[in-house]
Structure 1
């Protein structure tokens, strides 16, 4: 495999990967905030930091596994070693779903932002989203260092704008706590609404789990991935808390839930300077763009990693002269178009529920892998070891199971057809690979990579 193409290149710094992770977690609230306020009102400001803490056991499991088995195949190689290659492929295929539905999600955010200025007919919206993904596909085939540098610049600018506009809202004279307290309080739908919101809003943190797929392109030691993962949880938690609380005091939760792009619309309604609304839109689009970059990159690496393990044909490990898996990028574009075509006007709930169910399953299998490998491979070096050990991983499995169970209850009817189609495709891939081996290459048998293979595969 190594001789077929230049392979992945180590060009991502610690700071650039933190920016990609935190930026991917932060993407989307410009158009997603109405869903948050519909679920649980301004209480989302408290749910975000609580979720960051709740997800720590999962993050620590992923960090330990990455330090021990630092491959772009990440969850696949972990589950393959802990259980078997079949479980590895199932985990990888679910993980790919979590990653690949994000590009069409954020592409629709651009469509929603455009709708603030002009009327965009519903039939045209998926076409615009697809066009945005095609443009990024072109850019995705260039040097990943450009993606890393761009992520840092965009992260600094968009967080700076959000902090600035939030401070303005709080001090503008239009912010009133009565908009929260007189309309059901922080949690107008009670604890059940808060629990449902907590499960749905887990989606906003999925970016922390994508970072191990880029470990073969980093310039820092794998043991430092824990820094990236925790930054991907707690930096967004603070930003979300500030922004949600600032927006929540501008109007009652039911009013905000009825707006398509709350920030600029509230700015208009309350007579604030127009520049504030434009800055909010600009920051929202930058968040969406950063999310698109991060998840697209991760999705292509998931395919690359599966090919490393010979669960997909060797074509997916081919890279261009910039070290980009160009066939993987093309497949990501294809899936993005597929999910965009299925998306309707309730695209936020559709994508949230679809992703959360798959993410919960992946988190569970990741924590289970960490648990089993502590017993099965205690001799393997772990440059980062999760504190508390197995009890921490059990806690992570419990959290993951709860996420999946509640997520299933939120699935809208139109989410089931693509899920069923996706599962069928995943089940057919191993069958197709058996045919490939029989007809093309009998020696192309599945691999289970271990610590001794680090540095021997591209």
Structure 2
């Protein structure tokens, strides 16, 4: 195939990556809102901005690590340098789980939206989700620049719709603060519900951590990644707060928790113009599609990065003439199909719990890496240096540990079998790679990239056939 191994191409602007990060964090509330209101009512409007602030130490750790080690392998190369290659692979495999469960999740949102118009049989729902992923797989093999431009257009459109519909709800005459203040208030299930919601809703911010995987495809300096990461926290915090209060005032929390797609259903029940409900559905689908785009891209780069470190076969780092890792994209599709088939109808709680546990572990290892590298390699140039330094990273580790512990308590029984199977696969991969090296390429030993390799990688990207 002409153009293979063309290398990743630097085509993503700062704005496009901000749109991808914030858009990916915002995806999903069309169908996920009932779960939020079930856990903690309109209190989610308070929890979202608090979570954004709480996650800042982790965000700053990721931003510093990206600036000093700007590789698609991201958490893998960070942990590898801070600890060892084995820990790097373990971190990368957990990170891949966090990323790869998102595409099937948002694909199910399309199914939920379709259910507002027609009755979709349960057996057909996974098939529709899989069809959505197959369509994106085809598109994913074209230029990353198209994804970036699309992200900007979709982000501006969907946020504009959300702000517009929220303003309409406030002024419609149907919005009443008593729907929030009464019926248990902002936190109808008390402290336990608030803590459970905070742990679960951490998932909504996972998008900020995916952006370092795309650093080898950006047109801006690595030190500016902090702008992208913080935007991925605080832009969604404001939008979520506005939308949650706007929806929460339309009906008591228990009523909203019992709806499949709250916004259009409430619009219909309250006799609002049908166009408002249709706009809410359109915005919800755009959010879902942006999330699908972002996490799919990141998942493929996680595999690409592991191959770059020779922890996976070289096939995963093969790119087509558009600079897309097409084999990695195919593997992401395969995992998406697996999770879509395994999840069943309880997909929201299932995916939230699964992702939160893995994300907490990845955050912890990322903060630990930043902490250790400050001591292990103080001489390394850090274009972005996180304020406060190691104490900040220590706080990030404590927050990450809390996320993981609480997340484990929320895991439904049907989440354990795929987790166990996934961990077993991760443990078998290094063994399979030993067999690959003994039979195919003895020189293909794992490597750990450092700051000194940045220029070499960039030169390889400019001249992939040199």
Q: TM-score range by the shorter chain?
A: over 0.9
In structure 2, C-alpha distance between the alignment counterparts of 1:241 and 1:89, rounded to whole Å: 37
2: CA distance between counterparts of 1:402 and 1:165? 36
Determine helix, strand or coil for the equivalent of 1:250. Answer: coil
Count of matched residue positions in the alignment of Structure 1 and Structure 2: 456
1:311 corresponds in structure 2 to 311
**Deviation by residue 1:206-255 (Cα, 9 ceiling, x = unmatched):** 00000000000000000000000000000000000000000000000000
> Who is 2:260 aligned against?
260
Aligned to 2:21: 21
Distance 1:417 1:132 in 2: 25
1:205-244 equivalences under 5 Å are: 205-244=205-244
Distance 1:79 1:170 in 2: 48
Structure 1 residue 113 and structure 2 residue 113: aligned? yes
Q: Residue 345 of structure 1: CA displacement?
A: 1.3
Q: Paired residue for 2:464?
A: none
Flag as ranges the 4+ runs of structure 1 deviating above 4 A: none
Taking the TM superposition and a 5 Å limit, the aligned residue runs for 1:166-315 are 166-315=166-315
Question: Within 1, Cα distance between the matches of 2:392 and 2:411?
Answer: 29
- CA distance in structure 2 between the aligned counterparts of 1:417 and 1:456, rounded to whole angstroms: 42
Separation of aligned partners in 1, 2:4 and 2:273: 57
Q: Deviations over 1:232-286 (max 9, x none)?
A: 0000000000000000000000000000000000000000000000000000000
Q: How does 1:119-130 map to 2 (within 5 A)?
A: 119-130=119-130
- State TM-score, norm by structure 2: 0.97
* Aligned-partner Cα distance in 1 for 2:447–2:430: 14
* Cα distance in structure 1, aligned partners of 2:456 and 2:136: 31
Deviation at 1:4, TM superposition (A): 6.7
1:332-387 Cα offsets, whole Å, 9 max, x none, are 00000000011111100000000000000000000000000000000000000000
TM-score by length of 1: 0.99
1:398-449 deviation line (CA, Å, top 9, x unaligned): 0000000000011011111110110011000000000000000000000000
| Contact 2:42–2:180 (8 Å) recurs in 1 | yes
CA distance in 2, matches of 1:109, 1:288: 7
Q: Give 1:385-404 correspondences, 5 Å limit.
A: 385-404=385-404
In structure 2, the partner of 1:429 is 429
SS of equivalent to 2:441:
coil
| Preserved contact between residue 318 and residue 327 of structure 2 (Cα < 8 Å) | yes
- Partner of 2:341 in structure 1? 341
> Unaligned stretches of 5+ in structure 2?
462-466
Once residues 240 and 267 of structure 2 are traced to their aligned partners in structure 1, the CA distance between those partners, rounded to angstroms, is 19
Verify: 1:79 aligned to 2:79, yes or no.
yes
SS of residue paired to 2:176: coil
Shift of 1:105: 0.1
Following superposition of structure 1 onto structure 2, how do residues 83-94 of structure 1 map, counting pairs within 5 Å? 83-94=83-94
Equivalent-residue separation in structure 1 for 2:47 and 2:171 (angstroms): 24
